Amino acid sequence: MTVVLVDAGGTNIGSVRYALQRLGVDAQLTSDPARIRAASHVILPGVGAAAPGMRRLDEAGLGDVLRGLTQPVLGVCLGMQLLCERSEESDTVCLGLIPATVRHFVSKPGLRVPHMGWNTLERTRGHPLTASLVDGDCAYFVHSYAVPTGDYTLVSCDYGDPFSAVVARDNFMGMQFHPERSSSVGARLLAGFLAL
């Protein structure tokens, strides 16, 4: 197994790498297209804004590389949002791999934006990635933008309205929360990705 972390400038890269090391996998950070194409598993981590994230991928020539991958690909946090068609954040065109537009949370009484903290996960359909989830499992979120629910939603969450917590389409998957900060639940989900 060869796992790579795509260098898209995300600040959570170190913590994702440590989470994988705890699972016995030493994932290397790279922006080399050849290494990304040759990997058995590809993870696109990210924290920050959509426009700079896409700009960094495009400047490194990685947008088309990622679109052409056939092995399992996992986007984490911003990385998941970048898998979508567009983001309302700076009206950004994204990778177009998940048929969705990332939307800003609507402010509602009693709900702060960004959505920050632990929230309950609810499976909406079966998938090997999420087979380890059980009722009541929670994950740790930090985000102001979210992917609406749709046919691609594996796991949803509610913060005023339902949104996608885990998505999948073909070999492309995403987790809006931070698995590396979500204790045993996050570890089980990362292990599920590595087992694909």
Catalytic residue among 77, 84, 94, 157: 77
Let me know: does 192 contact 132? Beta carbons within 8 Å.
Answer: yes
d(CA 47, CA 79): 8
Instruction: Please report where in the chains the tokens 């598993």 appear, as a residue.
Output: 41
Q: Is 77 one of the catalytic residues?
A: yes
Q: Which residues of 20-51 are buried (b: 16+ CB within 10 A; e: fewer)?
A: beeeebebebbbeeeebeebebbbbbbbbbbe
Q: Is 180 one of the catalytic residues?
A: yes
**How many Cα neighbours within 13 Å face the side chain of 92?**
24
Q: Is 178 one of the catalytic residues?
A: yes
Nearest-CA neighbor of 154 among 144, 143, 137?
Answer: 137
Angle (CA) 119-120-123 rounded to 5° is 135
d(CA 155, CA 135): 11
Q: Which residues are catalytic?
A: 77, 178, 180
